[in-house]
């Protein structure tokens, strides 16, 4: 299976490290209840021991983690405020889940995002149970207030040829600011937190590349993909 991921994307939003950390904390707290594999996190590291060091999820510790990812110039170590903050962690268990984020950026070729890289097959299939998937999307949407979210794969993304910053359609696609009544009747959609959630199929296993392209064409024809999330869509 091509790499599966859930990506949330939004445009220019100048936020300090403390605000980004508060959003991250809300997201992690919500993900905690979505699936056992999302209950705890570890720092990334070059050694086995380093990659097993737990992430403290209290606001102060997360603010320090976010601040550590502030963009700086190589020459003089000066901060580059327009690039915001980057960071990442992983869950340290099976199924494996990686988490990366970029927040506080105002330079839109970079953009802001949070991406969950998900294991496919085996125990990873439990992450695609509809109730779990909806809980994961709710966590990202409520915490980060993104312009759009996609639950997709590298192969499906590449097949679409979407412009940088434009929504990429997946099994599940959230579009902020798009009303449910603006979605074509032939597509399964439901209102969700200031926007709409569109499903390409009832389950992840039922989705095909042809179905993804069909849903994308229907959404494009309805003008539902005209919003921009800023920067290049990142999934790997």
Domain boundaries, the chain: 4-221
Q: Residue 2 has what pLDDT?
A: 63
What is the average per-residue pLDDT within 151-174?
A: 93
Dump pLDDT digits (tens) for 174-217. Answer: 999 999 998 999 999 999 999 999 999 999 999 999 999 999 99
pLDDT band at 7 (very low <50, low <70, confident <90, very high): very high
Q: Residue 235 has what pLDDT?
A: 45
What is the average per-residue pLDDT within 83-108?
A: 93
Q: What percent of the chain has pLDDT over 90?
A: 76
Dump pLDDT digits (tens) for 14-64. Answer: 999 999 999 999 999 999 999 999 999 999 876 666 678 999 999 899 999
What is the average per-residue pLDDT within 99-127?
A: 89
Work out the angle between the directed axes of helices 17-32 and 130-144 (0-180°, nearest 10).
Answer: 160
């Amino acid at each position: 299976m091509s790499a599966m991921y859930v990506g949330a994307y939004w445009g220019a939003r100048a936020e300090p490290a403390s605000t980004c950390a508060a959003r991250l904390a809300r997201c992690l707290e919500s993900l905690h209840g979505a699936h056992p594999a999302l209950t705890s996190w570890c720092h990334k590291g070059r050694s086995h021991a380093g990659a097993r060091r737990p992430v403290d999820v209290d606001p102060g510790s997360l603010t320090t983690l976010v601040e550590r990812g502030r963009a700086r110039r190589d020459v003089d170590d000066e901060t580059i405020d327009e690039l915001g903050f980057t960071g990442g962690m992983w869950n340290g268990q099976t199924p494996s889940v990686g988490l990366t984020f970029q927040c506080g950026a105002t330079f839109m070729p970079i953009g802001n995002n949070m991406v969950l890289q998900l294991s496919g097959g085996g125990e990873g299939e439990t992450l695609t149970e509809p109730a779990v998937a909806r809980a994961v999307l709710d966590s990202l949407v409520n915490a980060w207030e993104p312009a759009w979210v996609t639950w997709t794969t590298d192969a499906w993304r590449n097949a679409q040829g979407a412009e940088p910053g434009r929504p990429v359609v997946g099994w599940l696609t959230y579009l902020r600011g798009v009303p449910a009544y603006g979605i074509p009747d032939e597509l399964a959609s439901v209102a969700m937190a200031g926007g709409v959630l569109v499903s390409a199929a009832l389950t992840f296993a039922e989705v095909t590349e042809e179905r993804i392209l069909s849903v994308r064409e229907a959404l494009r024809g309805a003008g539902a993909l005209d919003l921009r999330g800023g920067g290049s869509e990142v999934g790997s």
